[in-house]
Copies of this chain bind each other. A is one copy, B any other.
Amino acid sequence: MADRTDLSLYLCKLEKRSPFSEAARTAFLALPVRQEQFPANHTIVSEGGRPTRSCLLTTGFVSRNKSLRNGQRQIVGFHVPGDMVDLQSALVMVADHSIQTHSPSTMLTIAHADLLEIAARFPEVGRTLWFDTLVDAAIFREWTLNVGARTAAAGTAHLLLEMHYRLKTAGLAEDGSFELPVSQAELADAVGISAVHMNRSLQALRGQKLIRTFRKTVTIENMPAMVELAEFTPGYMHPEGPRALPAT
Q: Give the B-binding residues of A (Cβ under 8 A).
A: 48, 64, 66-69, 72-74, 76-77, 88, 90-94, 96-97, 112-113, 116-117, 119-121, 123-124, 126-127, 129-131, 133-138, 140-145, 147-150, 191-192, 231, 235-236, 238, 240, 242-243, 245-246, 248
Contacts and interface: CB of A to CB of B under 8 A. Distances in A.
Q: How many copies are assembled?
A: 2
A145 to B, nearest CB: 5
A72 B140 CA distance: 18
Contacts of A69: 231
Given A68-B231, A72-B149, 12 more contacts: A66-B149, A91-B134, A92-B138, A92-B238, A117-B246, A120-B245, A130-B130, A130-B133, A137-B137, A140-B144, A144-B144, A144-B147
Contacts of A88: 134, 137-138
Q: Dominant SS at the A interface?
A: helix
Contacts of A192: 147-149
A137 B94 CA distance: 14
